[in-house]
Amino acid sequence: MLNITKRFPGIIANDNITLQLRHGEIHALLGENGAGKSTLMSVLFGLYQAEEGIIKKDGVEVKINDPNDANALGIGMVHQHFKLVECFTVLENIILGVEPNKAGFLQMDQAREKVMKLSEQYGLHVDPDALIEDITVGMQQRTEILKMLYRDNEILIFDEPTAVLTPQEIEELMDIMRGLAEEGKSILFISHKLNEIMAVADRCTVLRKGKYIGTVDIKNTTKEELSRMMVGRDVEFAVHKEPAKPGKPILEVKGLTVASKLHHNNAVKQVSFNVREGEIVCIAGIDGNGQTELVYGLTGLEPVKEGTVTLCGQDITNMQIRKRSILGMSHIPEDRHKHGLVLDYTLEDNLVLQRYFEPQFVNGAGFLKRKNIRTYAEHLIDQYDVRSGQGPITLARAMSGGNQQKAIIAREIDKDPQLLIAVQPTRGLDVGAIEYIHRQIVAQRDKNKAVLLVSLELDEVMSLSDRILVMYEGEIVGELDPKKTTVEELGLYMAGAKREVHGA
């Protein structure tokens, strides 16, 4: 990609960027949220057209007008927010657009055979007949990868592929990527996780605020060097916090059971725990062990089958979501598009979603006080460094994933909740933003608030939490003290190889 420039209203997303990918290499693309990484890859995949610059493949200039052109050239992409049809099966999604047919009739058996062969070959195990809406995010990602392999693509773009995966799945994905590169496929890997780039990439190109900073060989560089290129300053990787001083319980959960949408059994089975003011309790576990359903039960997104949930001494088991919010619950959701934002609303409207009915934002006749909303939004945008092309009037959909996440975090923390439920709060964020969010979460704890953190990132679990509860197959199998445990021991509990015997 030579001298690519791409502009949007109010912003130059890519400013004269040159990127060269060699045959059979894993090439990482690193940069802060909104640095222009996804935009550059979308230009390569034909989703956007660049105003300036050219693309060459095997030395020949090519025109990529849409993703079909990209596919014809052997370029495939796994997007940060998956492009899957929720009500179709895994198999239907994989063959969508290139369905094998005879005289107009679908040849599903032939397709199934090829998909199963690919899934065996690359260790991408999926259930071809499961509906997308019923499977975990990790499974959805495998579906996306199989979609590329099914089309025999040779240039594979992974846009933040590990943002939604568990540590085990990340290991597997790294192995898959190495295997693909060994077979001669060329991989472009967008990430801001420095550990992963150091572990898997051959070379790394760094972008900052839409500009090209440089390309380095991974074997000749360090994490610190990369983070400096990316953020323009030194970044603190460790979380600094004083020992917790927990007070009275804010959230009490007794015998909670939540049904599973996927199977006939329950996703959460008889779970009991509490979170006290002034502490961060982390629920750790491999994705798909009931954490999602537990949070749905606590926040009111799903009904609970049995058990009770108490917040600040009030029973909220069957309370409406708005009432929970007013009572002092904030929720940073796992799926920012489904539960965190209204994508076609502006940023300012998203920032007052749960408070627009308060007197500061609405007058007696029920009309919104637009000026107050704008002032409030500008204050939050400034405080949390939410970057967007047109400030408060930018549509949420037009913002980068990391900046969407920052907007949600700003809104939820600024409500000054008694209980903050944060699910994967730093998913898809760069090191600079992660450092900031971690500080905000610790600040909530130090203000004597209760924080329930759900995270799949083991480093985050170990460095942020004051207590760790491990979930396995819908049950809490262990309570650990991060100061006295190791990542390996935590991993054993998460995999179900170890559990605490109650009453022993």
User: What is the residue extent of each domain of the chain?
Assistant: 2-231, 249-494
Q: What length does the chain have?
A: 504
Q: What is the pTM of this model?
A: 0.72
Identify the three-state secondary structure at position 117.
helix
DSSP class of 243: P
pLDDT at 211 over 80: yes
Q: How far apart are CA 129 and CA 91, in angstroms?
A: 6
Round to whole Å and give the CA distance between 115 and 266: 31
Residues 6+ apart with CB under 8 A from 235: 227, 228, 431, 432, 435
The fold of 249-494 is: Rossmann fold (3.40.50)
502 confidence band (pLDDT: 50, 70, 90): low
What mean pLDDT is reported for the chain? Answer: 89
User: Which residues, 6+ apart, have CB-to-CB distance to 327 below 8 Å?
Assistant: 311, 312, 314, 316, 319, 418
> What pLDDT score does 393 carry?
94
Residue 385 has pLDDT above 90, yes or no: no
Per DSSP (E only), the strands in 176-265 are 186-191, 203-208, 211-217, 249-259
In 3-state terms, what secondary structure has residue 403?
helix
Residues 6+ apart with CB under 8 A from 78: 141, 144, 145, 147, 148, 156, 157, 158, 159, 161
pLDDT for 239 equals 81
Nearest to 94, CA basis, from 64, 74, 118: 118
| pLDDT exceeds cutoff 60 at 503 | no
For residues 290 and 475, give the distance between their C-alpha atoms in angstroms, rounded to a whole number: 8
Whether residue 268 contacts residue 290, with contact meaning beta carbons closer than 8 Å, is answered with yes
What is the mean pLDDT of the segment spanning 482-495? 86
Cα dihedral 472→477→483→484 (10° resolution)? -120
Are the C-beta atoms of residues 271 and 253 closer than 8 Å to each other?
yes
**CA-based R_g, the chain, Å:** 23
pLDDT over 50 (residue 197): yes
On the question of pLDDT at 34 being above 60, the answer is: yes
The alpha carbon of 133 is separated from its chain's Cα centroid by a whole number of angstroms, namely 17
pLDDT of residue 10: 78
CA distance 231 to 161: 21
Please determine whether the domains at 2-231 and 249-494 fall in the same fold group of CATH. Answer: yes
DSSP state at residue 244 = P
Looking at residue 343, its pLDDT comes to 94
Is 70 exceeded by the pLDDT of residue 233? yes
Can you name the residues that pair with 285 across neighbouring β-strands?
A: none
Q: Which residues contact 168 (CB under 8 A, 6 or more apart)?
A: 286, 495
pLDDT for 418-427, tens place per residue? 999 999 998 7
Residue 456: predicted pLDDT:
83
Distance CA 382, CA 384 (A): 6
Distance CA 316, CA 441 (A): 24
Residue whose tokens read 């809104």 = 411
Q: What's the average model confidence in pLDDT over 10-17?
A: 89
Q: Cα 355–315–245 angle (5° rounding)? A: 80
Mean pLDDT, residues 238-255: 91
Q: For the residues 101-114, what does the mean pLDDT come to? A: 87
Give percent above pLDDT 70 in the chain: 98
pLDDT (0 to 100) of residue 501: 61
What is the pLDDT, as a whole number, of residue 164?
64
Q: What percent of the chain has pLDDT over 90?
A: 58
User: Of 44, 51, 38, 36, which is closest to residue 208 (Cα–Cα)?
Assistant: 36
Residue 503 one-letter amino acid = G
pLDDT at 351: 96
Write down the residue that tokens 């001298």 correspond to: 3
Compute the average pLDDT of residues 431-443: 88
- Phi, psi dihedrals of residue 379, rounded to the nearest 5°: -65, -45
φ and ψ at residue 306, rounded to 5 degrees:
-150, 170
**What secondary structure letter does DSSP report for 331?**
E
Any idea which of 18-27, 30-39, 331-340, 447-456 has the lowest mean pLDDT?
30-39
Q: Residue 504 above 50 pLDDT?
A: no
Q: Return the CATH number of 2-231, one of 3.40.50.300, 3.20.20.70, 3.50.50.60, 3.40.50.1820.
A: 3.40.50.300
- Does 102 or 476 have the greater pLDDT score? 476
Three-class DSSP labels, 458-489: HHHHHHHCCEEEEEECCEEEEEECCCCCCHHH
**How far from chain centre, in Å, is Cα 369?**
33
Please write the tens of the pLDDT for every residue from 140-190.
Answer: 888 998 998 898 899 999 988 876 666 677 888 888 889 889 989 999 999
- The runs of H, that is alpha helices, within 34-186 are 37-44, 67-72, 90-95, 108-122, 137-150, 167-182
